[in-house]
Amino acid sequence: MSKRVLVTGGAGFVGSHIIRYILSNYSEYRVINFDALTPSASLNRLSAEENNPMYTFYHGDISNEKDVQYVFEQYRPNFVIHLASQSYIDKNIHQPNIFIQTNVIGTQLVLQNVRESNVEKMVQFSTSKVYGSYKEDADIDENSRLLPYSPYAASKAAADLFIAASYRSHKLNVSIIRPANIYGPYQFTEKLIPAVIYSVITNKKVPVFGNGGSYRDWLYINDFCKAVDLVLHKGKAGEIYNISSQEGIKNIDIVKIIIKKMDSDDSKIEHLKERMGDESYPAVKSIKVREKLGWTPKFDLEKGLDEIIHWYKNNIDWVEEIHSGEYQKNK
Ligand SMILES: NC(=O)c1ccc[n+]([C@@H]2O[C@H](COP(=O)([O-])OP(=O)(O)OC[C@H]3O[C@@H](n4cnc5c(N)ncnc54)[C@H](O)[C@@H]3O)[C@@H](O)[C@H]2O)c1
């Protein structure tokens, strides 16, 4: 049966993959991409879907009441996957208000419209950063305390609490997912993995903040999309699902692995000043999605990095177009 899926933030890195995944796995689903086209968006990520009759783009702002109301009335979604978010780390510390506007007020508006319409299921995108920075051997799961370090993480934690309250008071069918760091095709080169690959391809210095001692837990986008699919269709109402590889690695170590895989050498590394708000996020446990929903990642770091290096080498034109500002023309 035909279903309508509203994806907020679908012109972003993760959202564009989710849209492509749904369109290629559920031919009966119509997808509405609701995006404000902020600087982290690029409709070029979805250029192959542009003429797909099951795909619609709506240019709007989730923190604008009229825009949100219009989309819900016009498209009457069965499912809502809420990814739209302000996540620019550099704005993080100095412009916290924009995080409150999009991530808290925007989420509350989406939630209100979900409540007032016949949405069957909503998936809220949070982040494992809501647990705060922690040591490598810390035991973090979905029941751990919320201890955000940055305005970004604080705003995501606040949104999660609005979602949880709505589940309790209105019995909404909503699940929260808290992903670790995701990487894959079409990610902008300000993020670590594409930054390293791009620097090596273009024979530039490879920038590393501080001594590169911060930890991250990396997940390949294909594995991530599968997890979202499972949570959307089988996730329990009111449940929180961490989505992670459960394997932390230091930034400097992943940088060196990529450099070696690309037949370059460590002399390319250039240590930059420590970045404010660049905390350590080693690995959270993602037991519920594995044990209750049967998810296991298929891409370990080795395989994922091989895929992504291959993709950037073959799509360097796309990266250059982003750098030249060409993608802005789509806005
Ligand atoms: N990328 C990761 O590693 C990662 C990790 C954990 C959680 N997440 C979460 O996943 C989601 C997507 O992340 P991403 O990396 O794709 O981010 P992104 O910045 O690439 O995409 C976000 C999208 O949201 C849109 N947007 C921003 N403000 C909006 C507004 N007011 N109205 C409508 N659209 C708006 C942007 O234009 C953009 O297209 C976010 O909720 C983020 O918190 C991402």
Question: The sheet that has 174-179: what strands, in order across it?
Answer: 55-59, 29-35, 3-8, 79-82, 121-125, 174-179, 240-243
- List, in sequence order, every residue forming a beta bridge with 269; answer none if it has no partner: 206
User: Distance between CA atoms of 243 and 191, rounded to whole angstroms?
Assistant: 19
pLDDT of residue 328: 47
Atom of ligand 1 nearest to the CA of 16: 16
Average pLDDT of the segment spanning 266-294: 89
Atom of ligand 1 nearest to the CA of 101: 31
pLDDT of residue 323: 77
How do beta strands 3-8 and 29-35 pair?
parallel
Percent of the chain with pLDDT strictly greater than 90: 83
Average pLDDT of the segment spanning 15-44: 97
- List, in sequence order, every residue forming a beta bridge with 57; answer none if it has no partner: 33
| Alpha-carbon Rg for the chain in angstroms | 19
pLDDT tens digits along 149-182: 889 999 999 999 999 999 999 999 999 999 999 9
For domain 3-187+216-247+282-301, the CATH architecture is 3-Layer(aba) Sandwich (3.40)
Query: Best substitution site from 64, 85, 218, 279 to test ligand 1's pocket, by max atoms within 8 Å of Cβ?
Result: 85
> Is the beta carbon of 182 within 6 A of some atom in ligand 1?
yes
Residue 42 has pLDDT above 60, yes or no: yes
Average pLDDT value over all residues in the chain: 93
Average pLDDT of the segment spanning 63-91: 92
Query: Best substitution site from 14, 34, 80, 221 to test ligand 1's pocket, by max atoms within 8 Å of Cβ?
Result: 14
Domain ranges of the chain: 3-187+216-247+282-301
Average pLDDT of the segment spanning 137-153: 91
> Is the beta carbon of 37 within 6 A of some atom in ligand 1?
yes
Residue 96 Cα to ligand 1 midpoint, Å, equals: 16
pLDDT tens digits along 251-270: 999 999 999 999 999 999 99
